[in-house]
């Protein structure tokens, strides 16, 4: 019996010390500790949610139909030849290719690279392939998954702590960024499609100047895109470029993008291609010496240098009038990849930190007042046993906050409500136990026997109430949004700690008292 009590006391003491150690990084005194000690101790801390810390909440809508359109455009660019320009209509691709070897070669390429395409119709003048409905559905679903992954990668590199990124419905994504103090930059980073293309400038067109001056219509095989520059007076200048349609290569062959500095310390973005991209870029620069190659991101021309010679080594540069911040953001979106479809901002809400401070202050005040009232009631109504329950309740709070720090949990206003509810449940457990002990004492049982019977008879009731509450908390966590999840996390952790402190924490005190002396009476 003594060994069992010592084990429980050691378990309680160890859990308390561990919780206090885990809680240290979340306290103001953490910064005053020696650096050597900080390296040894756990560094994880409780982060504040959007409603407490301030920041921004954005609801995005992914244009999934454009994902199907983008897939068709990529296929068209890959299968295009100098003598054949595919046409896109809805989910169809029309190839103006006659019967014979050329059509057989096209069919072979499609079977090898795009087996999901099905032949819809054919005649003497060409063939039509289409994306079947099942494949369209898969592309739309993959667009959502890929969009979430790309946005998550961008935010991680942006440096936001504890972001919330979750899917809502079929085509919406909720993004919450606590502590963001530059919402415009964050929005530009999240919403940029980042579709990178390398296009040839059509300088050899004799009517290029007339086309750019809008005196002559743009040819069907060309398009006009603009570069954005800032003038000497800060004005925005747009320079037009006549480009040949059809990307020679796209950004999916990029393996890395980094900020570098030129001869005059101006920032630019250095691109590194993967093996296939390096081989393709080598071929492009070899075949187009003395031509201008435009680097286009989201239909904006960033640079259009002249290819002086074949470029080997798998690297390229994006130059322009960049600030260091712009170059960093551009490298982030290129590293994380392009969004599979455009995203539209449905809602953008910025929460000021002053609201968060008021919420924290009010939440802490509510927790302290409710805790004091509960402690006073328990001590008044259950006397010395109530004081023991008060100690277990304080231990409960220490263990709960320590567990949240260990989980790197995000504390939200509903999370504070969950802590307060945990206090109530902890009191409820002790009330059930103490009332059972009182009943046993009224029946004339000895104090030691009454304590054992009280805990044994209240055990199933306490476990039942906690398990049903835990099931509810898990459902809230699975189906709830950010703040609701914060409530569910604190409630779930608090339930497990409640069981531990109510059934182990208080009982070990009564067991220790009965071991030291015979208990003829119990202050309860």
- HSE-up (13 A, CA, CB side) for residue 443: 12
Position 242 scores a pLDDT of 93
The Cα–Cα gap between 93 and 85 comes to 10
Are the CB atoms for 316 and 295 separated by under 8 Å?
yes
Are the CB atoms for 332 and 189 separated by under 8 Å?
yes
- Which candidate, 448, 423, 425, places its Cα nearest to that of 437? 448
Rounded to whole angstroms, what are the CA distances from 425 to 177, 214, 226, 256, 499? Answer: 32, 75, 64, 53, 10
Average pLDDT of every residue of the chain: 82
Task: For the chain, report the end-to-end CA distance as a whole number of angstroms.
Answer: 24
Name beta bridge partners: 87.
94
- Which candidate, 263, 284, 262, 264, places its Cα nearest to that of 273? 284
Q: What is the pLDDT of residues 48-80, one digit of tens each?
A: 777 777 778 888 888 888 888 888 887 887 787
User: Encoding tokens for residue 314?
Assistant: 């798998």
Please, is 458 exposed, middle or buried when counting C-beta atoms within 10 Å of its C-beta (0-12, 13-18, 19+)?
buried
Place of tokens 């169809």: 92
Are the CB atoms for 486 and 411 separated by under 8 Å?
yes
Characterise 179 by phi-psi region: left (phi > 0), alpha (psi -120 to 50), beta (else).
Answer: left
Q: Which CATH superfamily includes the segment(s) 2-54+352-516?
A: Multidrug efflux transporter AcrB transmembrane domain (1.20.1640.10)
Domains of the chain, by residue range, sit at: 2-54+352-516, 55-61+142-350, 65-134
Find the largest Cα–Cα distance for the chain.
111
The Cα–Cα gap between 78 and 92 comes to 15
Are the CB atoms for 426 and 47 separated by under 8 Å?
no
The Cα–Cα gap between 494 and 490 comes to 6
Provide the 3-class DSSP secondary structure of residue 67: helix
According to DSSP, the β-strands at 196-200 and 249-250 are: antiparallel
Q: How confident is the model at residue 26 (pLDDT cuts 50, 70, 90)?
A: confident
Q: What is the pLDDT of residues 319-344, one digit of tens each?
A: 877 788 878 888 887 777 777 778 88
The top-level CATH class assigned to 55-61+142-350 is: alpha beta
pTM: 0.56
Place of tokens 């570098």: 260
Provide the 3-class DSSP secondary structure of residue 121: strand
Q: How confident is the model at residue 161 (pLDDT cuts 50, 70, 90)?
A: low
Q: What is the pLDDT of residues 84-131, one digit of tens each?
A: 778 888 888 888 888 888 888 888 888 888 888 888 888 888 899 998
Position 225 scores a pLDDT of 92
* CA–CA–CA angle 8, 13, 16 (5° rounding): 125
What mean pLDDT comes out for the span 430-440? 85
For residue 132, give every residue at least 6 positions away whose Cβ sits within 8 Å of its Cβ, in sequence order, or none: 116, 118
User: Encoding tokens for residue 128?
Assistant: 């039509």
Are the CB atoms for 444 and 374 separated by under 8 Å?
no
Are the CB atoms for 6 and 512 separated by under 8 Å?
no
Does domain 65-134 correspond to CATH entry 3.30.70? yes
């Amino acid at each position: 019996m003594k060994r069992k009590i010592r084990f429980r006391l050691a378990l309680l003491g160890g859990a308390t010390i561990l919780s206090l150690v885990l809680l240290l990084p979340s306290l103001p005194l953490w910064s005053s500790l020696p650096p050597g000690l900080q390296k040894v101790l756990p560094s994880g801390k409780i982060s504040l949610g959007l409603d407490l810390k301030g920041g921004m909440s954005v609801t995005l809508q992914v244009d999934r139909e454009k994902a199907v359109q983008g897939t068709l455009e990529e296929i068209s660019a890959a299968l295009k030849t100098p003598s054949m320009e595919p046409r896109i209509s809805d989910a169809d691709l029309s190839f103006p290719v006659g019967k014979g070897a050329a059509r057989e070669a096209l069919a072979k390429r499609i079977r090898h690279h795009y087996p999901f395409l099905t032949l819809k119709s054919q005649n003497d003048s060409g063939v039509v392939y289409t994306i079947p409905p099942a494949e369209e559905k898969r592309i739309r679903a993959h667009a959502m998954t890929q969009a979430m992954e790309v946005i998550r990668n961008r935010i991680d590199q942006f440096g936001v702590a504890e972001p919330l990124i979750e899917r809502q419905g079929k085509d919406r994504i909720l993004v919450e960024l606590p502590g963001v103090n530059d919402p415009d930059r964050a929005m530009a980073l999240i919403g940029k499609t980042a579709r990178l293309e390398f296009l040839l400038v059509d300088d050899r067109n004799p009517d290029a100047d007339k086309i750019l001056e809008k005196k002559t219509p743009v040819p069907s095989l060309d398009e006009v895109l603009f570069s954005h520059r800032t003038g000497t007076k800060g004005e925005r200048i747009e320079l037009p470029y006549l480009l040949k349609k059809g990307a020679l290569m796209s950004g999916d062959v990029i393996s890395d993008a980094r900020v570098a500095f030129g001869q005059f310390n101006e920032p630019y973005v250095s691109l590194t291609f993967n093996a296939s991209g390096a081989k393709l870029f080598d071929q492009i620069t070899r075949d187009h010496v003395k031509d201008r190659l435009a680097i286009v991101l989201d239909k904006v021309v960033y640079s259009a240098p002249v290819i002086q010679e074949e470029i080997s080594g798998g690297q390229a540069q994006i130059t322009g009038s960049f600030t260091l911040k712009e170059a960093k953001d551009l490298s982030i979106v290129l590293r994380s990849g392009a969004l599979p479809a455009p995203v539209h901002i449905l809602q953008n809400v910025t929460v000021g930190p002053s609201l968060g401070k008021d919420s924290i202050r009010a939440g802490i005040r509510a927790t302290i007042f409710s805790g004091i009232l509960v402690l006073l009631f328990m001590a008044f109504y259950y006397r010395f046993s109530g004081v023991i329950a008060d100690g277990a309740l304080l231990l409960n709070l220490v263990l709960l906050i320590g567990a949240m720090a260990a989980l790197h949990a995000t504390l939200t206003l509903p999370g504070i409500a969950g802590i307060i509810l945990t206090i109530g449940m902890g009191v409820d457990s002790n009330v059930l136990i103490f009332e059972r002990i009182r009943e046993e004492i009224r029946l004339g049982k000895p104090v030691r026997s009454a304590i054992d019977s009280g805990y044994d008879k209240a055990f199933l009731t306490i476990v039942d109430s906690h398990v049903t509450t835990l099931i509810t908390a898990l459902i809230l966590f699975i189906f709830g949004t950010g703040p609701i999840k914060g409530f569910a996390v604190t409630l779930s952790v608090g339930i497990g700690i409640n069981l531990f402190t109510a059934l182990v924490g208080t009982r070990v005190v009564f067991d220790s008292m009965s071991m030291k002396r015979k208990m003829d009476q119990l202050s309860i």
